Amino acid sequence: MVRRASQALLPPQWMLFNGPANAGGLALTFDDGPNATHTPKLLDLLGSYNIRATFFLVGGCMEDHPDLVRRIVAEGHAVGHHSWWHRSEGTSSRTLGEEVQQCRKLIHELTGLHSNLFRPPRGNLSVAKILNLWRLRQHVVMWNVDPRDYLMRSSAEAEAWARKYEPAAGDVVLLHDDHPFVLDFIPQIAKSAHERNLTFETIPTWINRLE
Ligand SMILES: [Zn+2]
User: Would the pLDDT of 56 be above 80?
Assistant: yes
In a domain, 123, yes or no: yes
In a domain, 86, yes or no: yes
15: left (phi over 0), alpha (psi -120 to 50) or beta: beta
Please report, in angstroms and rounded to a whole number, the separation of the first and last CA atoms in the chain: 26
Q: Which domain holds residue 95?
A: 2-17+24-198
Per the prediction, the chain carries an average pLDDT of 94
In a domain, 205, yes or no: no
In a domain, 211, yes or no: no
In a domain, 37, yes or no: yes
Give me the pLDDT at residue 210, please: 85
User: Would the pLDDT of 1 be above 60?
Assistant: no
Q: State residue 52 phi and psi, 5-degree precision.
A: -105, 130
Q: State residue 35 phi and psi, 5-degree precision.
A: -120, 130
In a domain, 89, yes or no: yes
Number of domains in the chain: 1
How much distance in Å is there from the Cα of 104 to the middle of ligand 1?
17
- The most confident of the ranges 4-8, 13-17, 66-70 is 66-70
List pLDDT tens digits, range 162-205.
Answer: 999 999 999 999 999 999 999 999 999 999 999 999 999 999 99
User: Would you say the C-alpha torsion 201, 202, 208, 211 has a positive or negative sign?
Assistant: positive
Q: Which of 206, 127, 134 has its CA nearest to residue 172?
A: 206
Q: Is 176 a catalytic residue?
A: yes
Q: Is 177 a catalytic residue?
A: no
In a domain, 206, yes or no: no
> What percentage of the chain has pLDDT greater than the value 90?
87
Give me the pLDDT at residue 97, please: 95
The CATH number covering residue 80 comes to 3.20.20.370
User: Would the pLDDT of 13 be above 90?
Assistant: no
202 neighbors 25 (Cβ within 8 angstroms): no
How much distance in Å is there from the Cα of 102 to the middle of ligand 1?
17
| Burial of residue 95, with CB atoms counted within 10 A of its CB: 0-12 exposed, 13-18 middle, 19 or more buried | middle
How much distance in Å is there from the Cα of 174 to the middle of ligand 1?
10
Distance CA 26, CA 49 (A): 14
Active-site residue, selected from the candidate residues 81, 139, 176, 179:
176
In a domain, 158, yes or no: yes
